[in-house]
Amino acid sequence: MNKRQALVAAALASVCAANASAHGQMDMQAKGEQEKCYGVAKAGQNDCGTATHGCAGQAAVDNDPAEWRNVAKGSCEKAGGKLDARQQQQQQQDKQARQTRQTQQAKQGK
């Protein structure tokens, strides 16, 4: 390797290191601006354990009201989730009750 190639390699390594450092700092800042959002995790994409399992990535179904993901602060309810698991579970129960009533009404109307 000649001096020019060595200089180019060193410059490229410096740019890569600076870029990695900047991304690491942004990730750390973003984590500080996040909140738990219940009911928005897709199956296998939850961020932590619940009463039914102890690890991240073990959600069995999409949008389980007990499962949560970290999201950007202020975006949880926009995504259809709740900041409190009990609120999300109550909303899910209310939705199921409405669907049951609608099904029963449809059967009675026939």
Tokens standing for 16?
């890569």
Examine residue 87 and state whether it is found in any structural domain, yes or no.
Answer: yes
> Is 1 inside a domain boundary?
no
Which residue range forms the structural domain that includes residue 42? 33-109
- Quick: pLDDT tens for 26-53: 554 556 799 999 999 999 888 888 777 8
Report d(CA 46, CA 54) in Å as an integer.
11
Number of domains forming the structure of the chain:
1
pTM for the structure as a whole: 0.52
In a domain, 57, yes or no: yes
Whether residue 41 is contained in a domain is answered as yes
